[in-house]
Structures are given as structure tokens and as C-alpha cells.
Structure 1
């Protein structure tokens, strides 16, 4: 009886699990990324504590506006800094936890989408 129960449980687990979809593994990047809907919430949560106006904790610039974030991507290596491994020198947010890859991907897509509002 116990062997039969183990066998049935094994079959149910085998058929109940599937690896056909990875949709639940990461947050999907929107088809079209906008600053106000997608990027601003990321920067407000993760960057503004230091990149405020005036900047705090040694931050060299403010990241409060679309143009400031866009300039940081184009001229200041923002994507490189947020993409560095946890604990790497120069990783942002400074002294914090690396952004989730889905957030980084949204910011990269925003650049690819020509920095739409």
C-alpha cells in the first residue's frame, strides 16, 4: 500500500510540473516603455534617496526628471552602473541591493524606444 501511494504521488508530481513556460520567472518588459509609467517609479524608489535636488551622499547629479535620467543614460553610464554585479565597485544604488534584472531591462528598453514620455 505504501509503495502504491509513493508511486501515485510521484506520477502526480511528474505530470503536475512542467517547464513549458518561463512567463512566471521574470516580470515581462512592456512592449512600449514610457518614462512616466515605467521608468519614473523605478528611479523614484531606487535613485532619488541620493540623486535628489540637491543630490545627497556624494551623488554627482539629480535624477528627478526625464531629461536628467536620459542624460545619465547617454552621458554618465547609468546603465553600466545599475547593471554591475552586486557588490562591484561603482554599482548603483550605492551601498544598496542591485536592481532586479526586470527593472534594468525596462530602463534599457526605454532607451531602445528612444526615451518616450
Structure 2
């Protein structure tokens, strides 16, 4: 009986020490700061984000319960503000996108800069 308690206590202790804390500063890529003079456009900067993080579900036609496609500039442009709000939520929050986990803050910053720059296509 003592052996099983010792094993359980050891596993519990190991699990506590193996946990990590994700702070917002951990999500910021300090080695790749956003150039404030860079004009962000859809084709060069935003489309690669959509391709890597969104198209898995927001394809044409959408899959995995996604309610709409995000395969064209027009589709992303139309939903840009709502997308920024959803991708800015912390992982695990209701409605957070992508469901696989929060994007790095530097990626979210590029998307936000695209909106701030007027959502240019090229």
C-alpha cells in the first residue's frame, strides 16, 4: 500500500514540475520585431498566415464545422476585424482561433498591421 502511495505521489510531483506557464511575453517573438515602416499586404504577408493557420478548416468548401471559406482576398477582407478578435483570444477561450492553439503574437501583429494599413491586396 505504501508503494502505491509513493508512486502516486511521485507521479503527481513529476506532473507539477513538468507543467509550464504560457505568458503573453512567451508568445512574442523578440528576435523578429515588426518593422513599423513596412506596409503589410495580403499577398505577401497575410495570405501565408491564412494558408498555414486557417485553410485546414476554412477551405472551399469549409470542413470540420467551419462556417465559411477563407480562400480569397475578398473573403478574408470581409471578415478581417472579426478574425483578429478571434485570433487574439487566449488558447482555450471560447471562440479562439485557430483551435489548435494561439498564433504567435508577432503573427497576430502582422494581421493587425494589415488592417491598420488599409487591408491592401498587393
TM bin (shorter chain):
0.7 to 0.9
1:91 aligns with 2:81: no
1:66 matches 2:73? yes
Cα deviation for residue 97 of structure 1 reads 1.3
Gaps of 5+ in 2: 1-28
* Gap regions ≥5 residues in structure 1: 1-23
Q: Write the distance in 1 (CA, Å) between the matches of 2:74 and 2:60.
A: 14
What secondary structure sits across from 2:34 in the alignment? coil
CA-based RMSD: 1.3
Q: Deviations 1:40-92 (Å, cap 9, x if unpaired)?
A: 00000000000000000111111111111111114xx1111000001111100
Q: Which runs of 4+ in 1 moved over 3 A?
A: none
Larger CA Rg, structure 1 vs 2? 1
Contact 1:26–1:102 (CA under 8 A) maintained in structure 2: no
Match of 1:45 among 39, 46, 52: 52
For this pair of structures, how many residues does the alignment match? Answer: 91
Looking at structure 2, the residues matched to 112 and 44 of structure 1 have their Cα atoms a distance apart, in angstroms, of: 21
Question: What TM-score do the two structures reach when normalised by structure 1?
Answer: 0.73
1:33 aligns with 2:40: yes
> Quick one: distance in 2 between partners of 1:61 and 1:49?
12
